[in-house]
Amino acid sequence: MSTNIETIAVSRNDGAAASLGDYAGKVRLVVNVASKCGLTPQYEGLERLYEDKRAAGLEVLAFPANNFKGQEPGTDAEILDFCTTQYNVTFPLFAKISVLGDDRHPLYSALVEAKPEATGEGPFRERLKGFGVERDNPADVLWNFEKFLIGRNGQVVGRFSPDVKADDPRLVAAIDAELAK
């Protein structure tokens, strides 16, 4: 039986206790993020998406993770400073967690269990292989900026590969379909 994603304890960037249930009734886009990644400029698109669709009920929830080549080495305070000064991020930022391996956070275990395959999978996985990066388990989070879409009802309804940007028509259509419910 799968875990209720909305009840899993997480911490906000400032250390305050939280859960995805704090955003119940909203459409949530959960993204594992990093400050020193080739995909880091996706913060800009994610912020634009959040600004465009927040009034309709979208929340972008960012979870910094240092699982991929040490690309998120900062403290929670340093990450917040980077996100706000470099990308004017206003969407919720959470405390750094692990999204891969033996210490994977229960939230990410539940997300992966609920949606083991990502839309857009393929080209990015092949690019990573060129850098010697291969995942033993194809269901594992592939890299920074993988996106999980959670509907208003708390169910995981989509998962998108790290190279699927915030303005990708596949992601936007999935978000809009959930916002319409």
Residues with active-site annotation: 37
Tokens found for residue 154: 């708390």
Characterize the bridge pairing of strands 17-19 and 9-11.
antiparallel
Q: Which of 9, 8, 6, 11 is nearest to 24 (CA)?
A: 6
Q: Are 119 and 158 in contact (CB under 8 A)?
A: yes
Distance CA 181, CA 178 (A): 5
| HSE value, Cβ hemisphere, 13 Å, CA-based, for 46 | 32
Distance CA 97, CA 107 (A): 10
Angle among Cα 28, 30, 36 to the nearest 5 degrees reads 145
CB atoms within 10 A of CB 71: 19
Q: Are 175 and 146 in contact (CB under 8 A)?
A: no
